[in-house]
Structure 1
Amino acid sequence: MLIEHLTMEEFAAGLERTRTVLVPFGSTEEHGSHLPLDTDTMQAIDVGRALARQRPIFIAPPVHYGVCRSTFDHPGTLSISTETLKALTIDIVAALYRQGLRYFILLSGHAGGTHMATLTDAGEVLLQRYPELRIAVVSEYQLAAESGRELIETAGDSHAGEIETSRIMHARPELVKGTAPAEYPAFPKGLLVRDKRRFWPGGVWGDPGKASAEKGARIEALVVRELRTLVEQLEAWQDS
């Protein structure tokens, strides 16, 4: 059930079927010269909607902005602060909780470390604030890398490479602008740098040349399966 498409009567009726909601988080971020800026958000939306075709679940409107620490100087990246993301996440979940939802999956298509830590921070605050709330925070990339390990040829593939290019080639082929060279950035260990493009000029981390639409379809199906298992685990979870 896509919340943005429901009437208020349909939303109320949906609560009789499920109290579980998936909130898709993404980013507006460079993904090389060949993938759209909304790649992360699209992936989270696509697997959420696929899951909704298999079982009752609310899918909240997506959040198209994230914390993009390593790419905020690349053309097109619109990064927000950790403070903004944390506050927005808390407000969205609080509003959904007030409407009767109790089981929350925060699914992020953007897997940046600072971004994911911020979502987890928000989840911990919410866990303490609402006694009936159950919550999981997971990246779409984490599910893809774990479940599709046997399909992925590129070691260390993580951004606009084999996985993400395959996914968009499958789900949104009209948005893929060819391919891009393989790239494996090497940031100086422990040092924070101002000119991040100096160390990551192409905005790719992996090898887009190994991507295929068929591979993308298989990875997406595996991610949906892992996501469904996570939802079932969350709904059965007892932590006290």
Structure 2
Amino acid sequence: MIIEEMTMTEFEAGLAQTRTVLIPFGSVEEHGSHLPLSTDTLEAYEVCKKASLITPLFVAPPVHYGNCRSTARHPGTISISTQTLGALFQDIVIALRGQGLRSFVALTGHAGGAHRMALQDAGETLIARFDDITVAVVSEFDLAQDEGRDIIETPGDSHAGEIETSRILHTHPHLVKGRAPREFPRFPNGILVRDKRRYWPGGVWGDPGKASAEKGVRLENLLVRKLVELVQEMEKGCDE
């Protein structure tokens, strides 16, 4: 049940089927010279929508902005603070709880460390405040990291490389502009760098040349299955 497409009466009727909602989080972030700035959002939203076709679930409109530290100086990246991100998550959950929902899954297509921690901290705040809700915060990388190794050929692939190029080739092939060169940046050990583009000029971490739509299908199917399994575990009350 895609919330942005529903009427108020459809939303109300949907509460009889489920009290669980998926909240996709993405980013406006560079993804090399070949993938759209909305890559992370597109990925998370597609997985949420397809999961809702398997089992009754609400899917909230995606949050298009995220905290992007490593790519902040790359062209096109629009980063928000971790405080803003956490506040957005809390406000969305509080509003949806007021509408009758009780189980909340934040699925993020952006896997930046500070970004994920901001969502997790907000989730911890929410479950401490409300004892009638369950909350999960998970990235696509978390869901796919084990079985996904059987699909992807490139060790260490993580950003705009084989994985994400395959995903967008499957779901939005018209947005893929060729292939950027493979890239595996190396940052100074332990030293904080202001202009990370100096060490990461192409904005790719992996090998887009090994991507294919077929791999994208397999990755998406894996993520959808893992997300549905997570929801089922939550609905059993496994957070206690």
Shorter chain as normaliser: what TM range? over 0.9
Which structure 2 segments of 5+ residues have no match?
none
| Structure 1 residue 163 corresponds to structure 2 residue 127 | no
Q: What letter corresponds to residue 5 of structure 2 in structure 1?
A: H
Q: CA deviation at 1:215?
A: 0.6
CA distance in 2, matches of 1:101, 1:68: 30
The corresponding residue for 1:231 is 231
Task: Indicate the SS of the match to 2:143.
Answer: helix
The corresponding residue for 2:107 is 107
| Structure 1 residue 221 corresponds to structure 2 residue 235 | no
CA RMSD of aligned residues (A): 0.8
Task: Indicate the SS of the match to 1:23.
Answer: strand
CA distance in 2, matches of 1:108, 1:96: 18
CA distance in 1, matches of 2:96, 2:33: 37
The corresponding residue for 1:119 is 119
CA distance in 2, matches of 1:239, 1:160: 34
CA distance in 1, matches of 2:235, 2:152: 31
The corresponding residue for 1:182 is 182
CA distance in 2, matches of 1:160, 1:145: 16
Q: Cα–Cα, structure 1 residues 127 and 34, in superposed 2: closer, same or farther, change >3 Å?
A: same
What TM-score, normalized to structure 1? 0.98
What TM-score, normalized to structure 2? 0.98
Q: CA deviation at 1:25?
A: 0.1
The corresponding residue for 1:196 is 196
Q: CA deviation at 1:195?
A: 1.4
Q: CA deviation at 1:163?
A: 0.4
Matches within 5 A, 1:1-240: 1-240=1-240
Q: What letter corresponds to residue 167 of structure 1 in structure 2?
A: R
Q: CA deviation at 1:120?
A: 0.2
Q: What letter corresponds to residue 222 of structure 1 in structure 2?
A: L
Q: What letter corresponds to residue 77 of structure 1 in structure 2?
A: T
Q: What letter corresponds to residue 96 of structure 1 in structure 2?
A: L
- Asked if 2 retains the 8 angstrom alpha-carbon contact of 1:22 and 1:57, the reply is yes
Q: CA deviation at 1:147?
A: 2.8
Q: Cα–Cα, structure 1 residues 238 and 219, in superposed 2: closer, same or farther, change >3 Å?
A: closer
CA distance in 2, matches of 1:7, 1:63: 20
- Asked if 2 retains the 8 angstrom alpha-carbon contact of 1:34 and 1:177, the reply is yes
CA distance in 1, matches of 2:181, 2:13: 50
Q: CA deviation at 1:239?
A: 4.0
Which structure 1 segments of 5+ residues have no match?
none
Aligned residue pairs, count: 240
CA distance in 1, matches of 2:212, 2:239: 42
- Asked if 2 retains the 8 angstrom alpha-carbon contact of 1:147 and 1:226, the reply is no
Percent of pairs with identical residues: 64
- Asked if 2 retains the 8 angstrom alpha-carbon contact of 1:183 and 1:206, the reply is yes
- Asked if 2 retains the 8 angstrom alpha-carbon contact of 1:160 and 1:203, the reply is yes
Q: CA deviation at 1:201?
A: 0.4
Q: What letter corresponds to residue 124 of structure 1 in structure 2?
A: E
Q: Cα–Cα, structure 1 residues 239 and 210, in superposed 2: closer, same or farther, change >3 Å?
A: closer
Report Cα offsets for 1:160-218 as digits up to 9, x if no partner: 00000000001100000000111111111111111111111000000001100001001
CA distance in 2, matches of 1:178, 1:47: 24
